[in-house]
Structure 1
């Protein structure tokens, strides 16, 4: 059975690339460009891993990660945060994420991080 990944990014091009790469790696991928109802989407989809963009047009991936980790039905899900703002003194671990990948990102690094986190979970 394929492992499921839920990806939130407001950039459609990034969603398309991540979807293509992870689908090629035999993951079942669901993407969304809006943070509206993301927690309910996660509950309904039951992903094995979530990838969140840090800076969204309608929210903040760090704050969404905190909500995921505070929710007893979702807190076990590993979270990767994508960010183009790595050097802006943001304390990413304080959000509870398991990994941070800087944008632009290397596709091999993304696949490696996803495989490592899913294997640990």
Structure 2
């Protein structure tokens, strides 16, 4: 089974670290520094999991996640909301994300959360 993850974050260091770690774990990784045309981007890649930053240009993580979850064919893709914002839990709930991960995060925690929401780990 292919493991595909789509990461939306405007921080190139985060994108690089996450890409490296997740590729080492067998994930096919696609990244984007913005959420322009997000619905078509998600459809084109068809990920198992989406990692969504809160402060992503142009519309932000809440609106971007809501756009994904509003689409019948995309709403079941788990979205992990991640941010350094101290109100991340309520932002993730407002967005309709499946779970959240606080920045800075532990790399094992990143792996565990993604594998769990993707259904690859109990």
If the length of structure 2 is used for normalisation, what is the TM-score? 0.91
Aligned to 1:12: 12
Write the mapping of 1:11-50 to structure 2, written as runs, cut at 5 A: 11-50=11-50
Aligned to 2:114: 114
Which stretches in structure 2 are left out of the alignment for 5+ residues? none
Write the mapping of 1:12-91 to structure 2, written as runs, cut at 5 A: 12-87=12-87, 90-91=90-91
Cα gap change, 1:70 to 1:18, in 2 (>3 Å): same
Q: 1: distance between equivalents of 2:25 and 2:10?
A: 23
1:92: how far off? Answer: 2.1
1:57: how far off? Answer: 3.5
Which stretches in structure 1 are left out of the alignment for 5+ residues? none
CA RMSD of aligned residues (A): 1.6
1:94: how far off? Answer: 2.6
Q: 2: distance between equivalents of 1:91 and 1:38?
A: 19
> Residue deviations 1:26-78, cap 9 Å, x none?
01110011111221110111111100101124221111111111101111100
If the length of structure 1 is used for normalisation, what is the TM-score? 0.91
1:88: how far off? Answer: 7.1
* Superposed structure 1 runs of 4+ greater than 3 Å apart: 87-91
